[in-house]
Amino acid sequence: MLNSITAMDYNLLIQIHNLTNNTFFDQIMPVISAMGDLGAIWIIISLLLMLKKEYRMIGLLCILSLLITTIAGEGIIKHLVQRPRPFVQFPEIQLLIKEPMSSSFPSGHTASSFAFAFMLAGKLKKAAVPTFIVAIAVAFSRLYLMVHYPTDIIAGILLGFICAKIAELIYDKYILKKGLET
C-alpha cells in the first residue's frame, strides 16, 4: 500500500513540477524555502510581536505552537515514519538546494509555517491573509524543489493546525485559567 501511495505521490509531484517549472521559480523558490529553515521567519516575527505589550501573548502563543510542532513533527513523527525523500527514492531528480538530511514525512517547513499561520490568524485577523500567503508559498516551494511529496505537505498543514490548537488549549487551560497572562 505504501508503494502505491508513493507512486501516486511521485506522479503528482512530477506533474506539479512539470506544470510550474521555470527559471524564475528556479531562482525564487530556494529563497522562499530558506525562509522556513528552522522556522526562522516565524520565530523572528514572533519575537517582534513580543516587543509590543499588546501583541506579547500572541507572540508567545506563536512560539509555543512552533515548539509543539517541532517536538511532534521533527522529534517524533519523522523518526517513527522515516519516509525517504523523493530525491532519495528517485535519483533522477535534480535538486536546486542542498539535500535535506531528515526524513520526508511530514514537511517540517510546512508544519511550522501553518502552525504559525493558524495561530496568528486566530489571534490577529488582519495578519491572516499575508501570513497564509507566505505559508502556502513555503509549502509550495518544498514541492517545487522536490524535497517533499504532496502527502508530506498535506500532513504538515494538518500537523500545523493541530499543534496551533494544542497551543491554544494550553493557553486556555493553564495561562488564562491560572491568571498568568501578562
Identity of the amino acid at 85: R
Give Cα 138 distance to the centre of its chain.
7
The arithmetic mean of pLDDT across residues 131-153, rounded, is 96
- Any domain includes 98: yes
**What total of structural domains would you count in the chain?**
1
- pTM equals 0.90
Cell numbers 491554544 correspond to 168
Contacts 24+ apart (CB under 8 A), 74-83: 74/102, 74/108, 77/105, 77/106, 77/155, 77/159, 78/102, 78/103, 78/105, 78/106, 78/108, 79/103, 81/105, 83/149, 83/152
Cell triple for residue 73? 513533527
- Any domain includes 182: no
What band does 137 get if pLDDT is binned at 50, 70 and 90? very high
- Any domain includes 29: yes
The arithmetic mean of pLDDT across residues 124-148, rounded, is 95
Cell triple for residue 101? 538530511
The predicted structure's pLDDT at residue 87: 87
pLDDT at 180 over 80: no
pLDDT digits (tens, 9 = 90+) for 51-95: 999 999 999 999 999 999 999 999 999 999 999 999 888 888 888
Q: Under the phi-then-psi rule, with left for phi > 0, alpha for psi from -120 to 50, and beta for the rest, what region is 52?
A: beta
What band does 3 get if pLDDT is binned at 50, 70 and 90? confident
| Cα–Cα distance measured from residue 65 to residue 119, given in angstroms and rounded to the nearest whole number | 7
Quote the domain boundaries for residue 23: 2-176
CATH number of the domain encompassing residue 30: 1.10.606.20
The predicted structure's pLDDT at residue 56: 93
Identity of the amino acid at 32: I
Cell numbers 528552522 correspond to 38
Mean pLDDT of the residues in the chain: 91
What does the H/E/C string look like for 20-40? HCCHHHHHHHHHHHHHCHHHH
The arithmetic mean of pLDDT across residues 5-21, rounded, is 90
pLDDT digits (tens, 9 = 90+) for 167-177: 999 988 877 66
- Any domain includes 181: no
pLDDT digits (tens, 9 = 90+) for 14-41: 999 899 999 999 999 999 999 989 889 9
